[in-house]
Structure 1
Amino acid sequence: MRLLVLSAASAWVLAGCVASNAPLGEMPERRMPPAIAQAVPVMNQFGAPEPAPVTRSNSQIAADFLELSFQMESGREIARLSRFEGPVTIAVVPGGPATLSADLDRLIDRLRREARIDIRRVAHGQDANITVETLPRDRMQRIVPEAACFVVPRVTSWAEFRRARNSRDMDWTTLETRDRVAVFLPNDVAPQEVRDCLHEEVAQALGPLNDLYRLPDSIFNDDNFHAVLTGFDMLILRAYYDPAIRSGMTRAEVAAVLPGILARINPRGQVGGGAGAEVATPRAWIEAVETALGPGTRDGLRVAAAERAVAIAQAEGLTDSRLAFSYFALGRLALGIDVERSVNAFLAASELYDRIAPGGIHAAHIDMQLAAFALSSGRAEDALSLSGRAMPAATRAQNAALLSTLLMIRAEALEALGRASEARQVRLDSLAWGRYGFGNSAVVGARLTEVAALSP
């Protein structure tokens, strides 16, 4: 399932508009201009993405595949691989958000082209392998409190899930072949969050059930930097549905055929030696991250948990995305408490991400935070440079919430530099992306006001 606190693409940027110790409500603010409030532009939406090719060796990808496919997020082992056999059909229960249908069609097209999965959409009421149903978030959370969205086997509706939720039928480890799966999404959140949930839950309905914090280029990662399926994810799904693999195979049986599959479908990965020994993610680190970013924890305890995650990662020699994410979480959580500590944590995360995934979505999130700091400090040129540097990655990753916030920061920086006409156009662009990233006009307007309050 997609965790609530990490699920919204806007979660990272909500804290990014606070650059002093003062609560946001106590900061001087400039209200959204009336002309903007009355003329919010039409929603912008992304077209087909162009995912970056996978750069890791096939031996490492094979190790990733096995860990993703034969273990649950809790650490429980999965004895046998399960998947759909034959063509896959997917249907949507009527009543979903207006943007859901087009986003699903784009996803299905990508799954057919990139993952080579024989999947097609059918009308609701026909027998479908995957049923997508939407409902209010609070109704979902009465049953699964921490989930933003989730996927369950052997049912086709919310009513059926409620009746069966405590039965063994809901246990993925008991499957040998997938036949019926239900995906549950919220229908009262921003379009981007619906799409993000759709990508992750449909991917897990089809393929691996695990998430790994050590993967920097995958949606199968609870850091949730990636909003849509990446090139790595499509490669994993393509291997998952290769004819050499079938439902019921054990880990050893899959491991035996996987090198040949990857050599055939990803010849560029036939480089280097064997897979390096990946350090398993310590359960104590996962618990520290979940405490820091999960619901129901006081601010002081969140910061302490993030610091604990940094310390655990360092002690365990985790110099990869797990240490970087620890610093990133600390930077976010220290924003309203200790600005200097926050900036230093973001810079430490930036240095690590520049090595792990240069120019990627991780760096874009950090640049947005640093641009907000620059704007609040009166350094408009720096805010313009940092936001401009982040925009290509935000666009490639199709993160409208991040892109909208970057554009809002740019508009304020341009205004401060006396470039009012450019600022007006950039602000309008930010609103168009904000409609998709944040939802309704009121939420977009509130975000614009928050960002405007940063400018001295």
Structure 2
Amino acid sequence: MRAGLRHIALCALALAGLAACETSSLAPRETTVPPHARPGPTEPEPPAPAPEPRSQSLASRDLETYYARVQADLLAQGLLRTDGGGPDTPFTDTMLLRNFERIALAEEYERGAGLRPSDGKLGKIKKWEQPVRVTIEFGDHVPDDQRTTDSNMVIQYINRLARVTGHPISVTGGGANFHVLFMSEDDKDTLAPRIRALVPDVNPSALEIFDDLPRSIHCLVIAFSEQRGGYAYGDAIAVIRSEHPDLLRQSCVHEEIAQGLGLGNDSPNARPSIFNDDDEFALLTTQDEMLLRLLYDPAVVAGMTADQVRPIVRQRAAELLGGT
């Protein structure tokens, strides 16, 4: 939770063939057949009515202004980096293991208790064991041009996550189990009913989160286990505020979808990483990709404890970083 593609459209071009008319030397110079009357001028097609502009409330405009100022302030401080880390952010296999334990095993919030912070203890591995089928939805007040931009961005990111994890993750038009909802402040009355429709047995305390989100909550994701009390995910819903400027909105997508895959916590020691509330990095980093590889290693199973998974992750971390 953040507080604080290439997609090619192919257009078919229809070419109209022009037939040339030729006169024949064998045709008679005179004929008694009267020529067909020339058609009169055609009436131009009336223009299609312009779509009704979507009205935007003052509350939504205020959020746009606020988040634009937040992004500008962070960029002015050299934050929201998009380079994925570099020579100034080295990390070792020991650091990678430590960060994995804090981010994949601890939980930011207590399970089933809304936004109540957890006690920070290490829990169990949470991940998807079935294919992840992602769908993208927009509230009625999200502008059309933004829908195109955001759809392309999510598709590109999902393709990247599938390559990184080796797990079947794809965007689908139906039968989805991971829903990415872009919603405006003006769509908030439809948010809770939509979530209830997607997950009918949703915990009421989880649903209450969406009733009145404070603006400090930029975006969030809720993942649901296949079985009550289990650790293998079966459904997830990420909510992204449409009022964010482009980079903050993309940052939300990167963090919330990755958290919905099982990297559910933040750590102040994780660097370079988006799983750190300091906002230094806006987009998934090289270390974050490694965390996902570790989580989706076939030997790592949902429900494993820290003691069970630690030897596996220690070995794989050393392999990823050459034992540094």
The counterpart of 2:100, out of the listed 39, 44, 65, is 65
Deviation at 1:119, TM superposition (A): 0.9
The one-character-per-residue Cα deviations of 1:14-65 (angstroms, maximum 9, x if unpaired) are: 4898xxxxxxxxxxxxxxxxxxxxxxxxxxxxxxx76447832212211110
Aligned counterpart, 2:308: 253
- Alignment-derived partner of residue 143 in structure 1: 212
Q: Deviations over 1:377-421 (max 9, x none)?
A: xxxxxxxxxxxxxxxxxxxxxxxxxxxxxxxxxxxxxxxxxxxxx
CA distance in 1, matches of 2:103, 2:234: 20
What residue is the counterpart of 2:177 in the other structure?
129
Following superposition, the deviation at residue 254 of structure 1 comes to 0.9
* 1:106-125 matched pairs, under 5 angstroms: 106-123=156-173
Distance 2:266 2:131 in 1: 26
The within-5 A match list for 1:151-170 is 151-154=221-224
Q: CA RMSD in A?
A: 2.8
Distance in 2 (CA, whole Å) between partners of 1:175 and 1:109 is 27
Give the structure 1 partner of residue 24 of structure 2: none
* Aligned residue runs from structure 1 range 44-443, under 5 A: 51-52=84-85, 55-73=90-108, 74=117, 75-95=119-139, 97-98=146-147, 99-123=149-173, 126-137=174-185, 139=188, 142-145=211-214, 146-154=216-224, 174-264=229-319, 266-268=320-322, 270-271=323-324
Answer whether contact 2:219 2:241 (CA < 8 A) is retained.
yes
SS state of the match for residue 218, structure 2? strand
Offset at residue 183 of structure 1 (A): 0.3
Whether contact under 8 Å (1:244, 1:261) holds in the other structure is no
Match of 1:11 among 59, 66, 70: 70
8 Å Cα contact 1:153/1:180 also seen in 2: yes
Distance 1:112 1:63 in 2: 24
Q: Between Structure 1 and Structure 2, how many residues are aligned?
A: 218
SS in 2 for 1:65: helix
CA separation of 1:217/1:16 partners in 2, compared to 1, >3 Å: closer, same or farther? closer
Per-residue CA deviation, residues 343-386 of structure 1 (Å, 9 max, x unaligned), is: xxxxxxxxxxxxxxxxxxxxxxxxxxxxxxxxxxxxxxxxxxxx
SS of residue paired to 1:133: strand
Going from structure 1 to structure 2, the CA distance change for 1:255 and 1:127 (only over 3 Å counts) comes to: same
Q: Secondary structure at the match of 1:213?
A: coil
Distance 1:15 1:78, change over 3 A: closer
CA separation of 1:15 and 1:57: change in aligned 2, threshold 3 A: closer
1:106 partner SS: helix
Unaligned runs of 5+ in 2: 5-62, 77-81, 109-116, 192-209
For residue 205 of structure 2, what is the aligned residue in structure 1? none
Point out which structure has higher relative CO (alpha carbons under 8 A, 6+ apart). Answer: 2
* Cα displacement (A) at 1:94: 4.2
Partner-residue secondary structure (3-state), 2:240: strand
Rounded to whole Å, the distance in 1 between the matches of 2:245 and 2:72 is 14
Aligned letter for 1:84? W
Separation in 2 of the partners of 1:205 and 1:267?
25
Q: Distance in 2 between matches of 1:50 and 1:222?
A: 17
For 1:64 and 1:256, locate their aligned partners in 2 and report how far apart those are by CA, in whole Å: 15
Question: Relative to 1, partners in 2 of residues 1:135 and 1:260: Cα closer, same or farther, differing over 3 Å?
Answer: same
| CA 56–240 in structure 1, closer or farther in 2 if over 3 Å, else same | same
Q: Bigger radius of gyration, 1 or 2? A: 2
User: How has the CA–CA distance of structure 1 residues 9 and 234 changed in structure 2, closer, same or farther, with 3 Å as cutoff?
Assistant: farther
Cα shift readout 1:213-266 (whole Å, capped 9, x = no counterpart): 2223100011112111001111101110000101110111011211222233x1
Relative to total residues, which structure has the larger helix share, 1 or 2?
1
CA contact (8 A) 2:67 2:243 kept: no
Q: Deviations over 1:298-356 (max 9, x none)?
A: xxxxxxxxxxxxxxxxxxxxxxxxxxxxxxxxxxxxxxxxxxxxxxxxxxxxxxxxxxx
- Contact 2:102/2:122 (<8 A) preserved: no
TM-score by length of 2: 0.60
SS at match of 1:93: strand
Q: Structure 2 vs 1, CA of residues 15 and 120 (structure 1 numbering), >3 Å: closer, same or farther?
A: closer
Q: Report if the CA contact (8 A) 2:106-2:122 is conserved.
A: yes
Give the number of the structure whose residues are more often strand, by fraction. Answer: 2
Q: Tell me if structure 1 keeps the 8 A contact 2:68–2:244.
A: no
Check conservation: 1:9, 1:192, Cα contact below 8 A. no
Q: In the aligned structure 1, how far is the partner of 2:160 from the partner of 2:94? A: 25
Return the alpha-carbon distance in structure 1 between the equivalents of residues 73 and 321 of structure 2: 42
Q: Where does structure 1 lack aligned partners over 5 or more consecutive residues?
A: 18-48, 156-168, 272-456
CA distance in 2, matches of 1:108, 1:136: 23
